[in-house]
Amino acid sequence: MKHRRILRRGPLRAAGLILLLLSAPRLSPAQSRITLSGTVRDARTGEKLLGAAVFVASGTTGTTTNAAGFYSLTLPSQDSVRLTASYLGYQRQTVVLPARQTATRSFALTADNELAEVRVLAAPEAPLERRVEMSTLQIPVAQLRKLPALLGEPDVLRAFQLMPGVQAGREGSGALYVRGGSPDQNLTLLDDVPIYYVSHIGGFLSVFDAHAISDVRLIKGGFPARYGGRLSSVLDVRLKEGNKQKLSGNAGVGVLATHFALEGPLNKGKTTFLVSGRRGNLDLFSRLASARSSGGKSVVGYSFYDASAKVSHQLTPRDQVFAALYLGGDRLFITQKPQTVRGAQGNFTYQGGSNLRFGNALASVRWNRELTPRLFGNATAAFTRFRYENGQDYHLEDNSPGSTRTEDSEAQFTSGVQDAQLKADFDYYPSPRHQVRFGASIIRHGFTPGVNFFTTRTTTATQDTTFGSSQVAALELSGYAEDEIRLGARLSANLGLRAVRYTVAGRSFGSLQPRVLATWLVGEHTALKASYAAMQQYLHLLSNNGAGLPTDLWVPATARVAPQQAQQVALGVARTLPQWGLEVSVEAFAKRLRHLIEFREGATFYNSSQDWQDKVVTGGQGRVQGLEVLVQRKTGRLTGWVGYTLARNERRFDQLNDQQWYPYKYDRRHDASIVVIYALSARLTLSATWVYGTGNALTLAQANYNVISPSYGYTDKSYIPANRYDYREAEIYGPKNSFRMRAYHRLDVGATFTKAVQHGERIWRLGAYNAYSRHNPYYIYYDQTPEGLRQLKQLSLFPFLPAISYERSF
């Protein structure tokens, strides 16, 4: 009853109550304490370093920087203090400061590029066992760009697919299936703004250009309260701010794409900029090949692009504003050139084509302010949109003598979703034992589940038809509060609560989502970790194909289709081995999902006036259990990791599979990966990845038989002449997803050649995808032998694929 009262007062007030409970006893620090605050940046570029460790030399007191590179430490007043800042891949910096009064001290760290010897630092960043986090993965962007890549294009999502608990789904797909969830259950943030569709080329490449990114991390569980709206993961991607010292950039060309990036100061020390662009090269080959194969009658092309821009301006020493823009999209087109047909009905000239377009647009304005040495604020206004269009057109001219008849027809299917958002986030540091975060947001969602347009024009008439699901608006209000607490030398925790009120079509949904994470040090380098998170998702992604193309519909939770829910529990052990430079983590997790939906058998959203809610089955449940092992080395010449996942992923719907649990289509019992990166010299880096996975689950017919069906107008089933019947094949299916494809495995290799040249460096990348040309199954189907027997065959998508790319930086 108490929870209901809080909900009626609104989620923002509920979050405020939680904040008071967490921090009220500590709002008035003793007068004998002082606060040191500032930022940590890259000395060469001025880029802020997120998650850098700042600690007193004794190691007993410390903190990490937030997303803006800001830190705050409150200490007892003393004559002096030795303060150290460190970050993975950078040289530590230690300063001695007088500590009699509150002061500001920022750090500029230098990248550690020495390769003369293997250097293993005892604590280049906060040790794994001491971080108040779990189920969190981070891959440095510099390391990401050295991994072997499909056709030589570095990719963020593919790199995380090599980590335990994350899988790709189909061969070549860049989608992330995290701990049994589907891609729509991943919250993907670009500079703290949600982005909906994250792939190009039907899922083979992500929309994130690795040359424009400063930081990326994936959270699989133990979600802090500041994140919400999805069930399975958070992918947090940050764009670079721009080089503060000088104009710099890079440009490159590969098989898949051509890219460029340029950054630098507009007003040195005050204003910086970043612009980057990438364009796919596939249509350069497909246009020529299709025109040649069709004798010049038709042209087929596929292109994609990404464009990012960001401006940062330092208003005052305590205020900074940002403006960011991202545009990206894909286009698949088929164009038929004019052709003339002569026949008994006359002479006609016709031409036509089809055009598939989809893409994202994102814009944001952000203001950071150090309100006090202990309170940091961030205000954001943002807009994000995903749009999908599939259209066909046709033009006909009657060339018969005396005729002026023409006919034009167009058909188009449109779908999409767009958000307008206002949010405010705060970081408060009342003491070294507490870091409090709180905030609130309001989002206005606009859904277009699917609209069909048909237009036909002739010389005498015009007809327009529009049908499909109507547009839907929804409002989401949310507030959160969390406190990262250090309870003594061994116990740390993150306690949080997220409150949400979601309203659509006059119906409201409310939820309180508790989050708990605890870390207990049981030795100098070992910790036990546990977490619990309740999540709720107010939108669904409908998909009736598995190819990865965005023929998917984003639709809202409604009175008929409830919000998705999930609860996840995780237990783990984290240990560092300083003498080996290794981090080892073992985690077991269990996840329960409710109110899942699927398309009904045979349902489609094309050419249908039926509402989407009538095409789905609802009330689905999911259960996922797993064990994940990760052994990672981040420093020295030889870096990389070994990962393994043992998991079970099942679904159940009352309307499917006789109400029995069945394996989800991407259930994978065993999943393993080995990643090795070796810096042979300052100029040459070698890399290799090997992956193995249990085959995907699928449903196949167990038997088939022929059914006689009448034809040629005969409807009397009691009498069908011998020469007046057809055979229709019927199939008998067993339990859903009861068959398995063959196991999946492949080896990728790569080499990066770097050479310093005048005003920069030159980089050649060579590599091979699927180096031993494993024929992994992409699709399985039945075919008939010459003797008329049914035979099961598989389609393999990618054999051995060599790659080469060139990059020049300055």
Token code pair at residue 545: 């194909």
The closest alpha carbon to 303, from 205, 172, 231, 419, belongs to 205
Tokens of 19: 């904040």
> What does the alpha-carbon distance between residue 593 and residue 565 come to, in Å, rounded to a whole number?
6
Q: Determine the Cα angle at 368 with ends 365 and 374, to 5°.
A: 160
Nearest to 351 by CA among 367, 340, 338, 362: 338
Q: Please give the domain boundaries of the chain with CATH numbers for all domains.
A: 136-699+802-809 (2.40.170.20)
Instruction: Please identify which residue in the block is written with the tokens 């992330």.
Output: 176
CB-based contacts of 525-528 (< 8 A; 24+ apart in sequence): 525/127, 525/129, 525/575, 525/576, 525/577, 525/578, 526/129, 526/573, 526/574, 526/575, 527/128, 527/129, 527/130, 527/573, 527/574, 527/575, 528/571, 528/572, 528/573
Evaluate whether 71 touches 78 at the Cβ level (below 8 Å).
no
Six-digit token pair at 323? Answer: 């403006």
Token look-up 């991994």 returns 147
Indicate the pairing of strand 186-190 with strand 233-239: parallel
- Cα distances (angstroms) measured from residue 46 to each of 90, 311, 418: 13, 14, 34
Question: Strand 375-398 and strand 406-431: pairing?
Answer: antiparallel
For the residues of 290-345, what is the DSSP string, one character each?
HHHHTTTSEEEEEEEEEEEEEEEEEEETTEEEEEEEEEEEEEEEEEEEEEEEEETT
Q: φ, ψ for residue 109 (rounded to 5)? A: -95, 145
Position 26 scores a pLDDT of 42
Residue 17 gets which letter from DSSP? H
pLDDT at res. 20 = 43
Q: Position 33: which residue type?
A: R
Task: Pick the closest to residue 192 from 28, 68, 63, 53 (CA basis).
Answer: 68
Tell me the CA distances in angstroms from 596 to 542, 563, 626, 655, one per residue in order: 11, 8, 20, 12
Is-contact 272 242, C-beta < 8 A? yes
If the chain, 810 residues long, is cut into consecutive pieces of 10 residues, what is the mean pLDDT of each piece? 40 43 41 81 84 76 84 82 83 82 85 46 60 88 82 84 86 80 91 90 82 90 94 93 89 90 89 94 80 77 92 93 94 81 68 85 95 94 92 77 75 87 95 92 89 69 63 93 91 96 91 96 92 94 54 79 94 92 94 87 58 80 96 89 95 88 89 94 93 88 72 47 60 84 92 88 91 88 79 84 90
CA 452, CA 414: separation in Å to the nearest integer? 7
Contacts of 133 (CB under 8 A, 6+ apart): 219, 222, 494, 517
CA distance 298 to 418: 35
Q: Checking DSSP bridges between strand 553-556 and strand 539-542, what pairing results, if any?
A: antiparallel
User: Is the separation of the CB atoms in 365 and 357 below 8 Å?
Assistant: no
**Which residue carries 């040090």 as its tokens?**
521
What pLDDT, on a 0 to 100 scale, did the predictor assign at position 451? 65
Cβ neighbours of residue 751 closer than 8 Å, sequence gap 6 or more:
684, 685, 686, 687, 765, 766, 767
* Token pair 């789905």 in the structure block, residue: 616
